[in-house]
Amino acid sequence: MFDVIHWRGYLRVNKHAGAGRVIARMGKAAGEPFTLLSCESYWKMPELAEVRMSSPLGVQEPQEAVFHTLLTAQRIANPWSVTCNICDDRLYLEGIAAKTASARFTVPGVDWLLFSVTADEPGSGPCRPEREQPHDPRASACH
């Protein structure tokens, strides 16, 4: 089951209330409500707020999760740099859009966004890259 899309972003806002307004506009643009989970001043660039949020997904199949997530993301920004891995029959989908990489955001105040989706089951996080795994020729490889 894929319950939520996890989001992380950098917003150009002065206060926590401003972040809430930008996130509400993102939800309106995406057609899904966004829930603000955290909001802190970004240590490297104090004019930005680092936010974590979620939006509902509620689908069963990996292909539905990919399709719905990409539709939601394209309503907020274009283009996205997307990575999709399947390891041991588990999906890991991630995308990044950044103004510094010529992304255009439909909501003013957004500078950078990342989305990620994994199955909502214990132990379903992303696979470790092969370079970090000890080599075992009998082990299955992530693709």
Tens-digit pLDDT profile for residues 21-40: 999 999 999 999 999 999 99
Coil, helix or strand at residue 5? strand
Q: ∠ CA 16-78-47 to the nearest 5 degrees?
A: 30
> Each residue of 109-130: pLDDT tens digit?
999 999 999 986 544 444 434 3
Structure-token match 């955290």, residue found:
38
Return all residues near 106 (Cβ < 8 A) that are at least 6 apart. Answer: 29, 75, 76, 77
- Tokens representing residue 115 in the block: 């989305």
Q: H helices within the chain, ranges in order?
A: 16-30, 62-74
pTM given for the model: 0.81
**Tokens at 67, concatenated:** 């399709």
